[in-house]
Structure 1
């Protein structure tokens, strides 16, 4: 509820429990406020050194975010979530530092007082009179697990009187009578309500998850009308609090009227909508000449049950007629939708009135043009009045007002209407050169003329404003269409990016840079050649941050705002494919329309890049699939054809050995032996090719039977005795091994391949160890050698077909381990390869022992 209740102390206690439980805990930032008890709890907890930065010539200690991210503890302590960082920090607010820590997979313990919760800040200021500057959006707390640290107001005041808490850190609060008993009781109630709302949300989520039918139903949907005024911030926070209490979704709506807005107003609208988005609202913008109709139209489209609007007051406590009219119309036309009218603070809307007046203020050149046109028409009409008559001049003045309204804004049009009525009365209506009307019909004519001139000028100006708004929407739609067409017509990446950069430079009047993703999942060092500028090292780090966190960063944002350009991630459903940088020529932030168009552009560009990537992947996959098919066909055909000459060579070599007529000399016997060894090797190669083809075609279906492990091991060692002749073989069989269901032939071939592989990849004289054991529901066969081990880069691909490790001896084909994997997985088992910390490699075959033997023949 307030500083001093013991949040930091409780956080450190929880952290010590986590450390005792074996978690890696680091203190990133903790402020003790000179409390000895708090400082004692920090002992034995690793403390990260702060980072010092200069602010207004003073060295200030700050959280060292980069070092903490590099340290990567399991749990980080970051005190005072609402703290504002110095200017040159990566983020403007500490809660943004915490969000980055969470994105990096680091859990965070932090502290927060209720006055810093954004949706409660206005109420706290009203209760205590203290201005709250540092706020945390409610959306940050939505995913947090909150623990309430409670204390009675009396206990807190007693603690403060004992100077346990150093109040100099909260001098502003102390000076504003923040710590009065009444204030503390109200803040305590607000805190308890906030936690109760969170608990209620948890109960509701549990009921929904467990499909428990209860009496509580959530059928509310709120909508708050957002405008370019200070009252909008109060409305947004008030709506967030109401949405929390009702546990309902809410919408922030801005209705754009067809009227030009100056830069200040556009920036204010953008800030208000950003605040609503931070507090968890669904932000919608629409355009309508009638604010009430636009508001109710969106409310009905989104099934809104309650609409929240403001009722501002001027400095004298009187309502604005325009706002009063809007509220009255909403109540009368809303139908079944409930209307909440929130009263503004006194004094604030006085500024609002002047702001809205400034919206209608036209440039001074238009006023001069209107005055000059009316004076010129007055002079011409005065000269020709004897010819055309007095009443005809009224029509000329009226025509002048209508024509002017086609070229100038509302203010100059109204001025022209008033001047023309006055000048017509003074110079043309009898008595001339006097502001008197001698005939009643002339008076009626003057009054009707004035009304008609005002109405025509107003309507014409409104039509022009609507035309201007439609033109702006057309420009945005045309820009989006042109971009989509350019992206669709791009034949390759370079051409597509060149067209995209050219189109965006034209729309945003900014220099564009594009950085694409480089495998594996990192941002390229250099901007694409189509870019208008290259990034410096600091700017590249900002772009990398935007890429890694999928959030805008750089200029005009809260993330690394000191950068020269704005960096927008190009994100799709599958991830971030790149980053787009915009170096604006304007010194003010992008307007609301620019941001909306920029978000749309970035989504379209990301989708186009992703589509191009998928197209390239698809083409490569087709080529690889066709190549694989041709390879299988060729190998299968050649393998069968080769077996016939191999059999003939083997038979001829055997006959040479068995000749009795002319015994072979020793060199001849050696050559015959080499022929037999080469044919055996070639025969094994052909057999492996045929087996791998059978495995990939799905024709290998093991015939399970209960087999004796001792027989399996004996047969395998006997079969590979020639390869293992120069190695020592150690067999370690677990006593009383049960009969294991397996296809004896397939597992024998798999185990023999592992033994041969161990002999081939280790030097002579080393030992090969074969072990067999039962682990729970699996039978495990492992072969361990004392060789050089498997290179780390080769481990993920060691069982791939035709893959050979970098240090593999010549002569292998890379099929042996692929066959092992295929035979074992056909049994529903798995084979693993890893390096032994003591040296060498270990291959383990794991087979399930709960399978039922089958009488089906193996294919």
Structure 2
């Protein structure tokens, strides 16, 4: 439906232009019949294009031995054909891969409708051409009008020849340019007689059948109409693309109803021609009735017709409903359909007379009677094309169902005999109706009809006079018996149909529940790997076929993400089909027109405009083919899987981005934090060394010794910072190697105080260790570093006048070291994260205004934890200020079990 102002039409035209922008252009040289000179005209135009500077290559050209055509190939680059083995012979075919690798500006590919040898990438050459167009290569090709799919049956009626190689109308409508190559009928027949089209014997037969003047005239008219239609389409496209105003009223919309008879494909072609004449958007619909099944032959007819309709440009829709005309008309009114096309088989003899007596017995008559405001076209098919419409094909049901039906009838008979003396005869039939309903509800239509027939016979034999025979003495009893049989069969049918509808509703509910479960399960998974594993399991459970999921591997190929049952390899044809489906965003493999010999069906997975993978199900010869409902379920499952994969990958990318941002933040913080700590001692070392070099000869020994001492102290400070960086790196990597030995804790504390004094500490520091404190089994160097870091933190933040006390004591099997100062202490909001990296007590600035890297306490905690202990901040004693840090570790070096 088009908006009144035509903006929708203009938008569609602009989008179509945008889609064609990156594609190659396709030109078809169209002829009415073989021999009119299509290939010759194409080669002449190609030589002119090459002379104008275009890069031209010949993909495939069939000269049919004509010298004048072969002469035009001279000077043109010819891409070698690829030999494909078929039935013991090597048949040369167009080499698509070589053409894509060569990538000329213009490629010549003769015979657009040609069928490729089995084993080729595509069964049809026009699909090869589509790949070239997608690669941005301009293609020129040739074809005859009889190869147009929608004209196929018309050509057969005109010429009596059935053409097997056809091209979908949708592919012809997408052509950028059509060049008509025409030749008068008499001239073509003369050329045929001279052997310029076929060899002598073939030419004689052709003139007697296909190449008759009347046939050629009709074919020329078809070709002219095809080109005229294309010219009209080009005019409309140009007007839309240029935003030329004009009357753009809502056009016609057409619907064709497809049934399971042999005339379905012919009906689709007629609908296509009518849609072209009307310039109408059209729908092809088929209806599934709950409780009713198509036969295998009818299902094949319907699937083939629906596929043809989709190829011809129709929107294929599968509807569900019991009321066929009502369902069609409801859909038609929702979609603003103005024309309905429906088929009606022409019957002969008695069937025709009965149809005449029942004017509303067919779908066509029902539509005509109920389609108010909608035109209905009824197309009659030949009797030979009619396949009996077994729309209702109840399931036979289990043998037990017929036994139950017989038992119900027997019980009804016994009940009737027992109450026959107190119940009127007509009322006894109610018992038999109950005997019909029970098997209908439990086992379906056929067991119920079987019960109806048994009830009819039992009722007649036991209760109708004379009993014991099928003879009926009184006419009114015959009428009652006949009515009983009709009612019983009707009830059986209705009850069975209700049962099948209920079962169909249960199946659909189960499918909806499975989709809900799949969506819910996949939405809760955090990463693509778990999503892939769950997805293949769920699709396998729904489709009952081996399922595989492939994703891009980063090298332009696909790798297996998950499979159920587990599968870790695919053969080369299957990998090619999967890659083709991923790259071209179209299904490939079994049941498609791309690599149909593959044992898998692959569907591309797209989400938010991004290709996320390929979902494949294995073809199973023992299982029924995927019908329309199964295909729809597979498509819906694929969409859910694609959305879940896309969400999981986005979540992973977000996590990675956050981790990268956090890493960058930490790196910047580290550089900013240590830059001052490194710069200060380096500046002091540089200044002292410069003074010694420039003025050392004029200095006394005491001054020189002082400068050298400063260099030593600042170098030691740098060494401590480097050791801290190395330690935190090893702690983060989990590679801290402890070199344990028995060490004296008092010695550790005194060494820390001495090292602080050497670095210029002026605060009062006291070491208090009780006598008899046992030795600890620890890494002396790392323990000194941990204690030194905590002491250094106290020295930086407590101030120059602070008093710092270092103590050690035994608590059970642990040794606890404490470093206490009387400085300003730690702010309450910092207590929880004082041991984190790049955090220093109270702020990132020390008491003297300098900056600290904030790694010392984090290293101290890491070292103590590596020894099986911990580092904590203890509350200050009552009435005091300052900070008190505790370093706890086991005496014997044991690591407690969690």
Q: What TM-score comes out, normalization by structure 2 length?
A: 0.67
- Determine whether 1:611 maps to 2:644: no
**Counterpart among 563, 584, 596 of residue 632 in structure 2:** 596
2:65 matches 1:30: no
Corresponding residue for residue 214 of structure 1: 246
Match of 1:343? 380
The answer to whether the 8 Å contact 2:193/2:200 transfers is no
> 2:359 & 2:299 partners in 1: Cα distance?
21
Distance in 1 between the 2:208 and 2:322 partners? 45
**Cα offset, 1:288, TM superposition:** 0.7
Q: What per-residue deviation string (whole Å, max 9, x for no partner) do you get for residues 526-547 of structure 1?
A: 4537662221233222222222
After superposition, the Cα gap between the structure-2 partners of 1:175 and 1:419, relative to the gap in structure 1 and judged at 3 Å, is farther
For 2:170 and 2:529, the matched residues in 1 are separated by 40
Contact 1:79-1:110 within 8 A present in 2 as well: yes
Question: What's the CA shift string for 1:729-762, capped at 9, x where partnerless?
Answer: xxxxxxxxxxxxxxxxxxxxxxxxxxxxxxxxxx
For residues 259-338 of structure 1, what are the structure 2 equivalents within 5 Å?
259-314=292-347, 316=349, 318=352, 325-338=362-375
Q: Does 1:224 align with 2:224?
A: no
Separation in 2 of the partners of 1:245 and 1:264?
A: 32
Q: How many residues align?
A: 660
- Provide the secondary structure at the position in 2 that maps to 1:478: helix
CA distance in 2, matches of 1:4, 1:589: 42
Q: Is the 8 A contact 1:34 1:165 kept in 2?
A: no
The answer to whether structure 1 residue 7 and structure 2 residue 38 are counterparts is yes
| Structure 2 Cα separation of the partners of residues 215 and 541 of structure 1 | 49
Task: State the shift of 1:605 in Å.
Answer: 0.8
Residue 2 of structure 1: how far off its partner (Å): 1.1
Query: Once the two structures are superposed, what CA deviation does each residue of 1:656-678 show, in whole Å capped at 9, x if it has no partner?
Result: 99989979xxxxxxxxxxxxxxx
Deviation at 1:522, TM superposition (A): 3.0
Shift of 1:521: 4.5
The Cα offsets for residues 12-37 of structure 1, whole Å up to 9 and x where unpaired, read as 12222222233332222111122111
Match of residue 254 from structure 1: 286
Q: Equivalents in 2 of 1:493, 1:285: separation in Å?
A: 33
Classify 1:8/1:627 alpha carbon distance in 2 versus 1 (closer, same or farther; 3 Å): same
1:287 Cα deviation (Å)?
Answer: 0.8
Unaligned runs of 5+ in 2: 1-31, 700-898
1:113 aligns with 2:149: no
Q: Do the aligned partners of residues 164 and 411 (structure 1) sit closer, same or farther apart at CA in structure 2, a change above 3 Å counting?
A: same
Residue 602 of structure 2 corresponds to residue 567 of structure 1: yes
- Separation in 1, partners of 2:226, 2:532: 49
Unaligned runs of 5+ in 1: 664-859
Q: 1:172 to 1:441 in 2, by over 3 A?
A: farther
Other-structure match for 2:518: 483
SS at match of 1:559: coil
Residues 130-180 of structure 1 deviation map (CA, whole Å, 9 limit, x = unaligned): 112111111112221222112222221122122111168978982872211
Deviation sequence 1:445-486 (CA, Å, 0-9, x none): 323312321221121122122112212222321221221122
1:362 aligned partner: 396
Q: Please report how far the alpha carbon of residue 413 of structure 1 lies from its aligned counterpart in structure 2 after TM superposition.
A: 3.3
> In the superposition, relative to structure 1, how do residues 576 and 169 fare at CA in structure 2: closer, same or farther (>3 Å)?
farther
The structure that has the greater radius of gyration is 2
Structure 1 position 383, deviation (Å): 6.5
Task: Give the deviation of 1:213 after TM superposition.
Answer: 2.6
Tell me, yes or no, if the aligned pair for 1:493 and 1:612 is still in contact at 8 Å.
Answer: yes
State TM-score, norm by structure 1.
Answer: 0.70
Higher mean C-alpha deviation, range 367-376 or range 130-139: 367-376
- SS of structure 2 residue aligned to 1:595: helix
Q: CA shift at 1:99, angstroms?
A: 1.6
List aligned pairs for 1:68-467, cutoff 5 A: 68-144=99-175, 145-166=177-198, 174=206, 177-215=209-247, 217-258=249-290, 259-314=292-347, 316=349, 318=352, 325-349=362-386, 351-353=387-389, 355-356=390-391, 359-360=393-394, 362=396, 365=399, 369=403, 372-373=406-407, 376=410, 380=414, 384=418, 390-391=425-426, 393-439=428-474, 441-467=476-502
Alpha-carbon distance change, 97 to 546 in structure 1, aligned in 2, over 3 angstroms:
same
Determine if contact 1:28/1:64 at 8 Å carries over to the other structure. Answer: yes
Deviations 1:772-812 (CA, angstroms, capped at 9, x unpaired)? xxxxxxxxxxxxxxxxxxxxxxxxxxxxxxxxxxxxxxxxx
> Deviation digits for residues 206-234 of structure 1, max 9, x if unmatched?
22232323346452111111222222212
1:679 aligned residue: none
SS in 1 for 2:140: strand
Deviation per CA, 1:634-688: give whole Å up to 9, x if none. 767888999999999999999999989979xxxxxxxxxxxxxxxxxxxxxxxxx
Q: Please tell me the root mean square deviation across aligned C-alpha atoms, in Å.
A: 3.4
CA change 1:306–1:286 in 2 (3 A) is: same
